[in-house]
Amino acid sequence: MSYRLRYDRRFMHLLEALPGDVRSVARRRVKALANEPYPSGAKELDEHPGFYRLWLPRGCRLVYEVREDEQIVDLLFVGPKSPDLYEKLGLGRQ
């Protein structure tokens, strides 16, 4: 079963701004989410069911939401992890 990947211009801008080696890894990981939205290494965010993060090289993260009912993976963020990353995304701990 294949999932549809959904993202906006901001996400694509973040992806293209990554260093070349990280960008190539990120592109592969994003593409793979269409077939396997729960890969090894993905961690569901505490207190936010359906939201996941994957580690990328150089301290970067890929943050996304899986919408099972619609078979969609919403790509929310890719880039360096700042201390307040999850709070900026509205996914901080309660």
- Confidence check: pLDDT of 69 > 90: yes
For the chain, domain boundaries: 4-88
For residue 37, the tally of other CB atoms under 10 A from its CB is: 20
The whole-chain average pLDDT of the chain stands at: 94
- SS3 at position 7: coil
pLDDT band at 94 (very low <50, low <70, confident <90, very high): low
- Classified by CATH at the fold level, domain 4-88 comes out as YaeB-like fold (3.30.2310)
Q: List pLDDT tens digits, range 14-43.
A: 999 999 999 999 999 999 999 999 999 999
Q: How far apart are CA 9 and CA 78, in angstroms?
A: 12
- Confidence check: pLDDT of 48 > 90: yes
